[in-house]
Amino acid sequence: MSNLPQQRSWSAALAHRLDGPVIAIVMGVSGSGKTTVAALLAAALGCQFQEGDDLHPAANVEKMHGGIPLTDADRLPWLQKIAEEIDGWRARGESGVLTCSALKRSYRDIVIGDRKDVSLVYLKGSYDLIHRRMATRHGHFMPVALLDSQFEALEEPAPDEQAIVVNIGHRPAEVAAEIVRQLEERQNAAAGDIKGKR
C-alpha cells in the first residue's frame, strides 16, 4: 500500500507562519510516537532533528536492552548531554526538535529549566494504546516489559510548565500539524504581548 496520500496531506502543513528560532522538546513514554512525530515536526519547520536516545551512554543502552530500568543516577549524564545540545542551538540562534522521554519534572528541570525559548511538547496516550503499538515494533531497544515502569515514573507536565499537550490517537502527520498550529498561536500571542507593552 502506497503512503503517498499521507505525504500529500502533510505537505500542506509545511507552510507555517513561525518566525525566528523554534526549539521543541517532544516528550512521552516509549511507544508514544516521539521519533515519528518529532521528525515530521522538524521537516515542517525546516530544522534539525536530534533523537534524544542517541545521546544515551552505552551503559544505559545496554541496561535497557537487558530490560533493566534506568535509575535517576543513570539518566543524569544523559539529561545533561541533552541540555548541552539545546544550549548549543540557542547560542547559535538555530531551530531544532529533540526527543526525550522526560518523564519526571526533575528531568525536565534539567533539559528545559528556565529556558523560556524552549517549548515542551507532551505526546499523551493511554496505556492500552501505547502497549498495542509497542507490541508491533521490531528492532527497538525498549522492551514492552519496561512500559509499566515508564508509566509508573511518568509525571505529566504541570500547568506552570506550559506544555503543548497533543493526543496521540491521531495520525502522526495530524499530530505534528497540531503542534505547528499551537506553536504559531504561542508566537502570535507573544508578539501581541510585546506590541502591547510598547
What are the domain boundaries of the chain? 19-197
- The mean pLDDT of 98-127, rounded to a whole number, is 96
Give the mean pLDDT of the chain: 86
Which range, 125-134, 166-175, 184-193, has the best average confidence (pLDDT)?
A: 166-175
CA distance 148 to 29: 10
- The mean pLDDT of 84-110, rounded to a whole number, is 96
Strand (E) positions, 6-95?
A: 23-27, 48-50
143 — pLDDT class (breaks 50, 70, 90): low
Tell me which of 2 and 68 has the higher pLDDT.
Answer: 68
What pLDDT is recorded for position 5? Answer: 38
Tell me which of 20 and 4 has the higher pLDDT.
Answer: 20
Share of the chain above pLDDT 90, in %: 65
Return the SS3 of 123. Answer: strand
- pTM of the predicted model as reported, rounded to 2 decimal places: 0.84
Q: Is the pLDDT of residue 183 over 80?
A: yes
133 — pLDDT class (breaks 50, 70, 90): confident
**Residue 132 carries which side chain, given as an amino acid letter?**
R
Share of the chain above pLDDT 70, in %: 84
Pick the CATH number of 19-197 from 3.90.330.10, 3.40.50.300, 3.40.605.10, 3.90.190.20: 3.40.50.300
Say how many C-beta atoms besides its own lie within 10 A of residue 60's C-beta.
19
Which range, 6-15, 16-25, 63-72, 116-125, has the best average confidence (pLDDT)?
A: 116-125
DSSP code of 141? S
What pLDDT is recorded for position 115? Answer: 96
What pLDDT is recorded for position 195? Answer: 59
